[in-house]
Structure 1
Amino acid sequence: MLKPGGSRTFQEYSTVVFISNIESQLEYRSRLDLVWDCYLKSGSLKATVRCNRGKGIRRRVTASGPLPSNWQNFLRNSDNKEKLFSFLSEQVMQLVVKESHSKKTAWATWNAFPEVTTAFLSLASTPSELPDGVLSTQERFIVLLYDSTSTCCDVNVLRKKLFSRKSRSLEDLPPTRAALEQHIKRAAYQAGHIWGQATIAFVSLPSPCDWGWMKSGDELEPLWTTLSEVSVMPRAHLLRLQKTLRWQV
Structure 2
Amino acid sequence: MLNPTGCLTFNDYAENVFVPYLERTSGTLHRVDVVWDEYIADNLKESTRSTRGKEVRRRVLPDSRIPKNWESYLRIDENKTELFMYLADKCTEIPPEQIISTKGQDIVSNQQYELTNTLAPCSHEEADTRAILHVSDSASER
User: What amino acid is aligned across from residue 24 of structure 1 in structure 2?
Assistant: R
Give the % identical residues: 35
TM-score (ref. length: structure 1): 0.37
Quick one: distance in 2 between partners of 1:195 and 1:95?
24
User: What amino acid is aligned across from residue 77 of structure 2 in structure 1?
Assistant: S
Q: Deviation at 1:44? A: 3.1
Does structure 1 residue 40 correspond to structure 2 residue 40? yes
Quick one: distance in 2 between partners of 1:28 and 1:96?
13
Does structure 1 residue 70 correspond to structure 2 residue 69? yes
Please tell me whether the aligned partners of residues 23 and 97 of structure 1 are also in contact (alpha carbons under 8 angstroms): no
Secondary structure in structure 2 of the residue aligned to 1:32: strand
Match of 2:58 in 1: 59
TM-score (ref. length: structure 2): 0.63
Q: Deviation at 1:98? A: 6.3
Match of 1:9 in 2: 9
User: What amino acid is aligned across from residue 39 of structure 2 in structure 1?
Assistant: Y
Matches within 5 A, 1:84-123: 84-97=83-96
Quick one: distance in 2 between partners of 1:75 and 1:38?
14
Q: Deviation at 1:22? A: 0.5
Q: Structure 2: give runs of 5+ residues left out of the alignment.
A: 99-138
Quick one: distance in 2 between partners of 1:37 and 1:67?
21
Match of 2:79 in 1: 80
Quick one: distance in 1 between partners of 2:63 and 2:25?
26
Q: Deviation at 1:72? A: 1.0
Query: Number of residue pairs matched?
Result: 101
Quick one: distance in 2 between partners of 1:59 and 1:47?
21
Quick one: distance in 1 between partners of 2:97 and 2:46?
40
Quick one: distance in 2 between partners of 1:98 and 1:36?
19
Structure of higher CA gyration radius = 1
Secondary structure in structure 2 of the residue aligned to 1:95: coil
Task: Report Cα offsets for 1:208-242 as digits up to 9, x if no partner.
Answer: xxxxxxxxxxxxxxxxxxxxxxxxxxxxxxxxxxx
Q: Deviation at 1:31? A: 1.5
User: What amino acid is aligned across from residue 25 of structure 1 in structure 2?
Assistant: T
Quick one: distance in 1 between partners of 2:17 and 2:74?
16
Q: Structure 1: give runs of 5+ residues left out of the alignment.
A: 100-193, 197-249
Question: RMSD across aligned C-alpha pairs, in angstroms?
Answer: 2.2
Q: Deviation at 1:195? A: 4.1
- Structure (1/2) with the larger strand percentage: 2
Higher relative contact order (CA 8 A, sep 6+): 2
- Structure (1/2) with the larger helix percentage: 1
Please tell me whether the aligned partners of residues 32 and 97 of structure 2 are also in contact (alpha carbons under 8 angstroms): no
User: What amino acid is aligned across from residue 51 of structure 2 in structure 1?
Assistant: N
Quick one: distance in 2 between partners of 1:45 and 1:61?
24
